[in-house]
Amino acid sequence: MALSIYLTVRVKVTHSKEQSSPQIQISASGLGKEKISVDPLKNLIWTSALFLLEKENNHVPANLNIHLDIHNEIPLARGLGSSGAAVVCGIVLANRLLNLNLSSTKLLKYCSLLEGHPDNVGGSLRGGCVATCTTDAEVHASQVEVDKSLRAVVVIPDFEVSTEKARHALPPTYSRSDVVYNLQRVTSLALNLKDVKKGREKIAEAMKDKIHQPHRSHLIPGLSQCLDLLYSPQSKTQPPHGLIGIALSGSGSTVCALADGNFEEIGRTLSSFFPNSQFSVLSIDNTGAQVL
């Protein structure tokens, strides 16, 4: 699901008559700027752009001077899709830079190949809530426009969870009942995000999970208490008004709560489970990647 937290790249292109190869300059600002490489050979946005051009048997003309001015709002390595956003940015950039006019379906395929899966890039590219299904040949994607009254209250702890550790925490096999449990809720969630007023209780139930959160909770101190606030019958604390559902964002460490009101109190309440954390109230972006 796409949120109103952005990776922005301003591109300046000039032409030179006498040079044997294109000249690429990169600058970075915003959140985590010190971790964003300005080396064109290592920068994920630019290497993603080159990936698309290679797949399309194309190249950057030698007479171009390109300056990428990157501004990032997405916390890095926190389960909010920062790498997926960078991949989408590079793919869209290359498509526009050389006027390739590739279809959205083909762009999503290239994004998924680079990212390794379509989960994050689908939302970043298309906007809204995007359900994806991969085949050997392509990526099928369906978009649900999310109710505009819905907000994501994201609580961002001050520690990272490596993807390797998060994956290693998962069991090699699952019971049939747990898989069925999650499949039922995934379907229900996608259908009910369109109308929060009618689907509020169904969204709350659909955000429950037995596949990854129970196995990763030890990596994220405070997650279990956060989930128990809303989902445990033994909880002695009344959940804040407006809170609909809570889930781990990606593999963490960010926790995402969906709500339809009382956002600041929800953020403060959930943040209390994570020392030195911060929270943001974000809208759902139903548009996706844009070239302005």
Please count the other Cβ atoms lying within 10 Å of the Cβ belonging to residue 14: 10
Give the largest CA-CA distance in the chain.
73
Looking at the predicted structure, is the pLDDT value of residue 22 above 90?
yes
**Mean pLDDT of the chain, nearest integer:** 94
> How high is the pLDDT of residue 80?
94
Read off the pTM.
0.93
pLDDT band at 140, cuts 50/70/90?
A: very high
Distance CA 199, CA 126 (A): 23
DSSP 53: H
Query: pLDDT class for 247, splitting at 50, 70, 90?
Result: very high
Q: What is the pLDDT of residue 285?
A: 97
Question: How many H helices and E strands in the chain?
Answer: 10, 9
pLDDT value of residue 236: 77
pLDDT in the model for residue 72: 98
Per-residue confidence at 20, pLDDT binned at 50, 70, 90?
confident
Hey, what are 272's tokens? 């209390």
The yes-or-no verdict on residue 42 having pLDDT over 90 is yes
Residue-wise pLDDT for 89-98, tens only, equals: 999 999 999 9
Check residue 235 and give its pLDDT: 80
Half-sphere exposure for 267 (CA within 13 Å, toward CB): 17
pLDDT at 28 over 80: yes
Q: Is the peptide bond before 251 cis (omega within 30 degrees of 0)?
A: no
Q: How confident is the model at residue 17 (pLDDT cuts 50, 70, 90)?
A: confident
At residue 137, the pLDDT reads: 84
Question: What pLDDT shows up at residue 162?
Answer: 84
The one-letter amino acid code at 87 reads V
The Cα–Cα gap between 162 and 281 comes to 24
Alpha carbon distance 206, 187 (integer Å): 8
Query: What is residue 106's predicted lDDT score, i.e. its pLDDT?
Result: 95
Mean pLDDT of 1-11: 97
Residues 6+ apart with CB under 8 A from 249: 78, 79, 80, 154, 255, 256
Whole-number percent of the chain with pLDDT over 90: 88
